[in-house]
Amino acid sequence: MNRDSTLRAWLDDHGAMIERIAYSYERRPALVAELVQETALALWRALPSFRGDSSEKTFIARIAHNVSVSHVRKAARARWTPLSDALSDTLADEQPTPDEHADQRDRRALLLNAVRDLPLSLRPVMTLHLEGFSNGEIAEALSLTANNVGVRLTRGKTHLKKQLGNVT
Amino acid sequence: MNASNDDLDLKSLWQDTAAPDVDDLINSVRKSRARMWQLLAVELVGTIGALIMMAIYTVWGVFGDRYWFPVGLSVVAVGVQAWTWRWRAGLWHALSDAPIDLLKLQRKRTLMNLKLARYYFWGTPICLLLGLAFAFLAVDDGFSAGFSEPVRVTLLISVSLLALLTIIYGGRMTNRCKRDLILIDARINEFEGNEK
């Protein structure tokens, strides 16, 4: 498989994860779209360095986090967005849905905001946990020890619980 | 509902999103790559063009027997181009490193940028003064010996304009680097769990 078709396969399989990771750093959909595009370009560039030492999902998650975390200028532009604007921005593109779907959508938006409000020391760990990564995979993706991941996960869950209250 | 069910519920809630348009993403990657190649081609043509012009002027005898001048300018042109490419390579090669290592590398690069910006800001007035000296003082046996008055005036105007632009650019770059540095430091602290 050549580089382009590998990138396509990766984006097909993990595009949604990349977008969710970008949303955990940025509030505005336009900036998220930019971050997702930059992650795609970074993946294309990094493809030759992928040796299969870790799973492709771990590799992609690490690059997606790194692209987002190193975007200080975009963060500076976005940091003054009021939370209510961000929430309506996030929901703006979604189609009207039946009540139960609207409820699901609201709960998801709340979860997204709660994750985004986590300190940076906990956010990537929590994001990958929500993506279904095991503690070992999170440790590998973020170059942390398994113990450290465990501690951060516990603190992250406590933070989330506090933020979300009885959402779940 | 127990903690494990809560966790599963949160995971399914989190993952319940549509995938982005992959065709759009692939197109954006292609466009970015095309832009990079176009920029590279334009810069290569510019640098090679400058070298050819320098060679032609030398053959025409514009610089007389001061061969060090075209050679020096050519070396500077090639050096600046090579340095620009290295600089513009950015952080992409380190994007598969650990996030904290990437942030520390980004901090190091921003500090280098800040030094460079200060050099632009303070170095250009010195260059301007040197330009003035070359153009008007060293008339007999200095660099500008043999250059006519219009050439000296053109040189002065060019150097002044270049210096002014560089000072403006250096000032803006300094401010931007300082802002970036504050944000990067905050991110490093936050990432290491030292947030207040």
A41 close to B (CB below 8 A):
yes
Is the separation of the CB atoms in B35 and B73 below 8 Å? no
pTM of the model: 0.74
**Nearest residue of A to residue B7, measured between CA atoms:** A130
Binning pLDDT at 50, 70 and 90, where does residue B194 land?
low
Q: What is the average pLDDT value for chain A, to the nearest integer?
A: 82
Which two tokens mark A163? 């933020």
**Nearest residue of A to residue B194, measured between CA atoms:** A121
What's the one-letter identity of residue B16? D
What local confidence, expressed as pLDDT, does residue B74 receive? 86
Shortest Cα–Cα distance, B188 to chain A (Å): 9
Which two tokens mark B193? 């769990």
Q: Is the dihedral of CA B168, B171, B172, B177 positive or negative?
A: positive
pLDDT tens track for A106-158? 888 889 989 998 988 899 999 999 999 999 999 998 888 999 999 999 999 99
What local confidence, expressed as pLDDT, does residue A83 receive? 36
Percentage, residues of chain B above pLDDT 90: 14
A110 close to B (CB below 8 A):
no
**Range B68-84 burial, b when 16+ CB lie within 10 A, else e:** eebeebbeebeeebeee
Q: What is the average pLDDT value for chain B, to the nearest integer?
A: 80
For residues A87-99, average pLDDT: 47
Highest mean pLDDT among A11-25, B7-21, B64-78, B177-191: A11-25
Give the contacts of A81 (CB within 8 A, at least 6 positions apart).
Answer: A27, A28, A89
Give the contacts of A78 (CB within 8 A, at least 6 positions apart).
Answer: A26, A27, A28, A31
A151 close to B (CB below 8 A):
no
For residues B109-126, average pLDDT: 82
What local confidence, expressed as pLDDT, does residue B159 receive? 73
Cβ-based contacts of A114 with chain B (< 8 Å) = none
A53 close to B (CB below 8 A):
no
Q: Which of A10-14, B84-88, B127-131, B185-189 has the lowest mean pLDDT?
A: B127-131
The answer to whether the CB atoms of B99 and A63 lie below 8 A apart is no
**Range B13-25 burial, b when 16+ CB lie within 10 A, else e:** bbeeeeebebeeb
